[in-house]
């Protein structure tokens, strides 16, 4: 794809338009794999999934299968899940605990540091010359964590994770660092494949509370959410560095009937010890945090249940692109480790009813994403002549919403969540990354 074409798209985006065909185009998809998913920090899992030495989980980073394990020293190591003999997938399980991983093909085995420690018939078939130390598993170039969240990066020269997260760390501290002992993942991440483009799913969380009243109308009808058409607009949409974004949703008055997202009062002193004044101000008023770390990690911290029995839950999700029109969705449920067991149980049930593969709200969203693909793959929608009106509309809040200087958190905060500021920022960053290599290539 030519640099001019990307540049032209960026100019369109500056004006609030995004060509519709970018959600189904194979060339764009290949560029994204090379220039975004090979170079940015991708979420792999949470440290609570690897509590003891020997525990392992298998994940995907773009198209690479990854094996994460905790070694004897308690360090988390991540490798390409591929045997160094003939390359077959080494570990075929999703999770477990073992001291050594033995390949199912010819039986080579590896320890928790990825070192090759055993070869079937060893010296008898390879002689003395083969040096086992040269045939260990290939480590993921960079693995770093923040607040228990483990990320990997295929780019040795990437900026440190914390620098990449930037202002998002302040919000992660509220969601993930408020309790002593941090968060824990409950159950396994749910996983399924959906017809969708990863940009639309990421945007839905980072930048689009506007869809809530229409897409999730059944929640209004079940009296789970208010009838007010502006209900998900109250609060602030915050544009963060590197294409990240977050919506800090409050009630219409800006105050929440459920302080600290309705969590038990016994937890409050701990929150007040672990968070600063500004973080507490935001946390005491928020009803939902919904946002995303570019490119494809999204999160939602909300309360579910009827009034008076609301339970907070936090879910993180990865939209792993597997084709221009397909994502593999991974959803983790997380909860404060310190919360009483009965609270966790009720919260988990509330999560399962609303989000995850069988959640009602999740399925509302998934249908719309599939319909975007269906309506964007035909000849009219794919026509690249930009004179055609084949663009999606990102004009909300374009020149009628100004930043709120009094918002206590970092980032550029707009005093409504019904605006396209975060979406425009995310798509502009996406185009910047796509153009980067083109410039170098001349």
108 binds ligand FES (CB under 6 A): yes
Residues that bind Fe ion (CB under 5 A): 365
Q: How far is the CB of 301 from Fe ion (least distance, A)?
A: 14
Among 39, 106, 186, 382, which residue interacts with ligand FES (rule: CB under 6 A)? 106
Among 39, 85, 132, 191, which residue interacts with ligand FES (rule: CB under 6 A)? 85
Please say which residue, 184 or 365, places its beta carbon nearer to Fe ion.
365
CB atoms < 10 A from the CB of 366, how many? Answer: 19
CA dihedral 183, 187, 188, 193 (to 10 degrees): -100
Q: How far is the CB of 188 from ligand FES (least distance, A)?
A: 26
> Which residues make Cβ contacts (< 8 Å) with residue 362, sequence separation at least 6?
331, 354, 355, 356
Look at residue 384 and give the partner it binds from Fe ion, ligand FES, none, a contact being a CB closer than 5 to 8 Å depending on partner kind: none
Q: The tokens 């930043």 sit on which residue?
A: 403
Look at residue 86 and give the partner it binds from Fe ion, ligand FES, none, a contact being a CB closer than 5 to 8 Å depending on partner kind: ligand FES
Stretch that binds ligand FES, among 85-93, 153-161, 171-179, 229-237 (CB under 6 A): 85-93
Look at residue 103 and give the partner it binds from Fe ion, ligand FES, none, a contact being a CB closer than 5 to 8 Å depending on partner kind: ligand FES
Please say which residue, 85 or 337, places its beta carbon nearer to ligand FES.
85
Please say which residue, 203 or 365, places its beta carbon nearer to Fe ion.
365
132 vs 109: CA distance, rounded Å: 11
Adjacent-strand bridge partners of 333: 315
105 binds ligand FES (CB under 6 A): yes
Q: How far is the CB of 33 from Fe ion (least distance, A)?
A: 26
Look at residue 365 and give the partner it binds from Fe ion, ligand FES, none, a contact being a CB closer than 5 to 8 Å depending on partner kind: Fe ion
> Which residues make Cβ contacts (< 8 Å) with residue 342, sequence separation at least 6?
none
179 vs 13: CA distance, rounded Å: 40
Look at residue 346 and give the partner it binds from ligand FES, Fe ion, none, a contact being a CB closer than 5 to 8 Å depending on partner kind: none
Q: The tokens 């794999």 sit on which residue?
A: 33
> Which residues make Cβ contacts (< 8 Å) with residue 122, sequence separation at least 6?
none
Among 71, 88, 360, 377, which residue interacts with ligand FES (rule: CB under 6 A)? 88
Radius of gyration of the chain from its Cα atoms, rounded to whole angstroms: 23
Q: What token pair was written down for 88? A: 């077959």
Q: How far is the CB of 108 from ligand FES (least distance, A)?
A: 4
318 vs 68: CA distance, rounded Å: 17
Contact between 313 and 353 under an 8 Å Cβ cutoff? The reply is no
Cα angle 164-15-29, degrees, rounded to a multiple of 5: 55
Q: How far is the CB of 90 from ligand FES (least distance, A)?
A: 7
Please say which residue, 78 or 212, places its beta carbon nearer to Fe ion.
212
**E strands present in 15-93:** 17-19, 42-46, 55-61, 64-70, 76-80
Q: What token pair was written down for 190? A: 């749910």
Please say which residue, 107 or 187, places its beta carbon nearer to ligand FES.
107
Look at residue 388 and give the partner it binds from Fe ion, ligand FES, none, a contact being a CB closer than 5 to 8 Å depending on partner kind: none
Look at residue 122 and give the partner it binds from ligand FES, Fe ion, none, a contact being a CB closer than 5 to 8 Å depending on partner kind: none
Give residue 107's region: left, alpha or beta (phi > 0; psi -120 to 50).
left
First to last CA, the chain: 12
Q: How far is the CB of 107 from ligand FES (least distance, A)?
A: 6
428 binds ligand FES (CB under 6 A): no
Please say which residue, 85 or 211, places its beta carbon nearer to ligand FES.
85
Task: Give the interface with ligand FES as residue ranges (CB under 6 A).
Answer: 83, 85-86, 88, 103, 105-108
């Amino acid at each position: 794809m030519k640099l001019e074409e990307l540049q032209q798209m960026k100019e369109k985006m500056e004006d609030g338009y995004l060509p519709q065909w970018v959600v189904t185009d194979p060339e764009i998809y290949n560029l994204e794999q090379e220039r975004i998913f090979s170079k940015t920090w991708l979420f792999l899992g949470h440290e609570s999934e690897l509590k003891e030495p020997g525990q392992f989980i298998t994940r995907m980073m773009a198209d690479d299968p990854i094996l994460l394990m905790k070694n004897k020293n308690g360090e988390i190591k991540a490798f390409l899940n591929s045997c160094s003999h003939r390359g077959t997938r080494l570990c075929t399980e999703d999770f477990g605990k073992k001291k050594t991983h033995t390949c199912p093909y010819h039986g080579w085995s590896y320890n928790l540091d990825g070192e090759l420690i055993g070869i079937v018939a060893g010296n008898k078939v390879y002689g003395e010359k083969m040096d086992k130390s040269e045939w260990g598993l290939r480590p993921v170039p960079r693995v770093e964590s923040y607040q228990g969240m483990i990320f990997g990066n295929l780019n040795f020269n990437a900026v440190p994770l914390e620098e990449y997260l930037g202002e998002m760390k302040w919000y992660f501290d509220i969601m993930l660092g408020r309790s002593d002992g941090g968060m824990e993942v409950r159950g396994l991440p749910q996983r399924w494949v959906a017809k969708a483009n990863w940009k639309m799913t990421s945007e839905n969380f980072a930048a689009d509370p506007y869809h809530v009243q229409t897409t999730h109308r059944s929640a209004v009808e079940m009296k789970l959410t208010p009838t007010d058409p502006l209900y998900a607009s109250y609060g602030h949409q915050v544009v963060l560095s590197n294409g990240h974004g977050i919506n800090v949703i409050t009630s219409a008055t800006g105050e929440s009937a459920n302080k600290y997202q309705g969590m038990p009062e016994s937890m409050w002193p701990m929150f007040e010890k672990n968070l600063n004044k500004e973080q507490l101000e935001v946390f005491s008023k928020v009803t939902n945090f919904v946002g995303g770390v570019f490119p494809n990690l999204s999160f939602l911290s909300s309360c579910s249940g009827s009034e008076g029995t609301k339970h907070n839950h936090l879910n993180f999700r990865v939209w792993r692109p597997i084709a221009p029109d397909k994502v593999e969705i991974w959803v983790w449920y997380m909860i404060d480790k310190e919360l009483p067991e009965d609270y966790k149980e009720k919260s988990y049930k509330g999560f399962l009813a609303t989000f995850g593969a069988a959640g009602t709200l999740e399925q509302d969203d998934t249908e719309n994403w599939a319909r975007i693909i269906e309506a964007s793959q035909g000849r009219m929608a794919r026509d690249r002549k930009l004179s055609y009106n084949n663009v999606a509309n990102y004009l909300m809040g374009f020149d009628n919403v100004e930043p709120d200087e009094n918002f206590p958190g970092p980032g550029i905060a707009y005093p409504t969540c019904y605006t396209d500021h975060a979406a425009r920022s995310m798509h502009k960053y996406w185009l910047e990354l796509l153009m980067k290599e083109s410039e170098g290539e001349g």
